[in-house]
């Protein structure tokens, strides 16, 4: 009989979380400085006057610098939301959203065996990533302390998202000559490195194209080859972050082509992330989704039922965009960004810069080491502060991403092409002023 006057754990004793002091021993997770960088522009206006022209090439938010989501899509989304009502949705999202993702957005081939049950809605990319990491931990090895593998110069939140929930993060070998890309050899070397360090397993690898921060792009064939190498090396899951893939001079990525390159049992270890944030300038709409094996989706849905349940409005915006035809819906971001990419590539080439850019996304990664050296600067945060405060152009210091990125800066050209031209010219003038000191 239960003693009602005695405490009782919520789960049977054999399933209790073991006492482990690791949260108290973790490195202090720093807040992202991305949102603070543009504040340095205030110093420039304080000095030059409130009407001084400034350029924000730091942001990754097309909705702040380009038209963003068209009004007709927001209006249609509001109609869908009114019709849907304000009750709870399922932890995986609305059924109609899952169906639209499969049939209208990805147009998944039924022969692959994937359908709506392989879709999970999320409240933006970060929410989707955290949920994916939790599935990697639980289904990949079932223990904390194992590893998520990222590139040598990763997006800053790749470093801290997994770490915050109990997975260590490993920066793969790589050098700037190859834009710090993975190779089959570096993937295998990373797995072996983890085995030598406490028998840790690599539970996931993140492959992103177009890349943040470098802007480098990978062909689908190359992404498949890297994914195959990861699975063969014993990595539990391969996560393809395609959040920027629609912003391209060519064709967006094909989930059909990717999934068909893997055997059915391998597909269960593939996770694809996509959403509206970048392609539609919909940062504050907060809509993303995961495509994954059913076990992954079921696990995340169970956890989400006690945590973050996606709101319908973001899904409605996505469905309205799918109805219109996604390329047309995202044109207010894609067309000017592609034009700005041409402006950036031409300017940097003509002025002899060393830089990394692919044919998609909206970042250029620029080597600024010689100007830092001329000014006696030891990190690119100092350069970023100088450019913003003295020349009115904000960029993201490469040191924000990793030590290996220290001598570089990320320049966002998610801007109208004429603004991009002014921003990169101002950036160039600021560096030239340093060189003449």
Give me the residue label for tokens 């400034």. 54
Q: What pLDDT sits at residue 347? A: 98
Report the alpha-carbon distance of residue 388 to residue 94 in Å, rounded: 44
Bridge partner residues of 393 (DSSP): 55
CATH 3.90.1150.10 fits 34-59+330-435, yes or no: yes
Could you tell me where in the chain the CATH 3.40.640.10 domains are found? 71-325
Q: Give, in words, the CATH class of 71-325.
A: alpha beta
Contact 57, 393 (CB under 8 A): yes
Q: What pLDDT sits at residue 30? A: 87
Q: How many CB atoms lie within 10 A of CB 98?
A: 22
Strands (E), 128-167: 147-150
Q: What pLDDT sits at residue 97? A: 98
Torsion sign across C-alpha atoms 112, 118, 122, 126? negative
Report the alpha-carbon distance of residue 236 to residue 227 in Å, rounded: 11
Give me the residue label for tokens 């009115």. 392
Q: How many CB atoms lie within 10 A of CB 192?
A: 12
Q: What pLDDT sits at residue 3? A: 66
Q: What pLDDT sits at residue 295? A: 98
| Cis peptide preceding 210, ω within 30 of 0 | yes
Torsion sign across C-alpha atoms 273, 317, 63, 340? positive
Could you tell me where in the chain the CATH 3.90.1150.10 domains are found? 34-59+330-435
Q: What pLDDT sits at residue 1? A: 54
pLDDT in tens, 274-333: 999 999 999 999 999 999 999 999 999 999 999 999 999 999 999 999 999 999 999 999
Low-confidence ranges of the chain (pLDDT < 50): none
* Gyration radius of the chain's alpha carbons: 23
Contact 263, 269 (CB under 8 A): no
pLDDT in tens, 78-126: 999 999 999 999 999 999 999 999 999 999 999 999 999 999 999 999 9
Q: What pLDDT sits at residue 173? A: 97
């Amino acid at each position: 009989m239960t003693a009602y006057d005695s405490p009782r754990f919520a789960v049977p004793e054999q399933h209790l979380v073991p006492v482990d002091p690791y949260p108290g021993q973790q490195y202090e997770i720093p807040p992202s400085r991305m949102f603070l960088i543009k504040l340095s522009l205030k110093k420039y206006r304080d000095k030059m006057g409130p009407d001084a022209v400034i350029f924000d090439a730091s942001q990754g938010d097309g909705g702040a610098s380009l038209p963003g989501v068209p009004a007709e899509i927001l209006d249609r989304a509001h109609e869908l939301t009114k019709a849907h009502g304000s009750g709870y949705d399922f932890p995986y999202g609305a059924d109609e959203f899952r169906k639209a993702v499969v049939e209208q957005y990805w147009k998944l081939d039924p022969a692959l065996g994937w359908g709506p049950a392989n879709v999970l809605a999320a409240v933006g990319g970060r929410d989707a990533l955290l949920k994916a990491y939790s599935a990697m931990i639980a289904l990949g090895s079932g223990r904390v302390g194992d590893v998520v593998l990222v590139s040598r110069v990763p997006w800053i939140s790749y470093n801290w998202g997994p770490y915050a929930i109990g997975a260590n993060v490993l920066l793969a070998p790589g050098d700037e000559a190859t834009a710090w890309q993975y190779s089959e050899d570096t993937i295998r070397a990373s797995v072996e490195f983890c085995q030598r360090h406490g028998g840790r397993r690599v539970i996931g690898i993140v492959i992103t194209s177009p890349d943040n921060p470098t802007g480098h792009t990978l062909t689908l064939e190359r992404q498949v080859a890297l994914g195959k190498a990861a699975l063969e090396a014993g990595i539990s899951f391969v996560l393809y972050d395609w959040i920027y893939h629609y912003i391209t001079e060519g064709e967006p990525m094909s989930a059909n082509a990717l999934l068909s390159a893997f055997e059915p049992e391998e597909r269960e270890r593939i996770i694809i992330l996509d959403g509206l944030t970048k392609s539609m300038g919909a940062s504050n709409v907060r809509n993303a989704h995961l495509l994954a094996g059913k076990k992954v989706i079921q696990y995340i849905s169970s956890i989400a039922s006690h945590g973050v349940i996606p709101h319908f409005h973001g899904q409605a915006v996505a469905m309205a965009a799918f109805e219109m035809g996604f390329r047309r819906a995202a044109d207010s971001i894609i067309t000017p960004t592609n034009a700005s990419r041409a402006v950036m590539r031409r300017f940097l080439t003509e002025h002899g810069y060393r830089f990394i850019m692919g044919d998609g996304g909206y970042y250029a990664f620029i080597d600024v080491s010689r100007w830092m050296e001329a000014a006696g600067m030891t990190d690119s945060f100092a350069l970023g502060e100088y450019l913003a405060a003295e020349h009115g152009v904000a960029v993201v210091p490469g040191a924000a991403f990793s030590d290996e990125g220290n001598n570089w800066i990320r320049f966002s050209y998610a801007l109208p092409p004429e603004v991009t031209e002014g921003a990169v010219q101002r950036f160039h003038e600021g560096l030239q002023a340093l060189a003449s000191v």
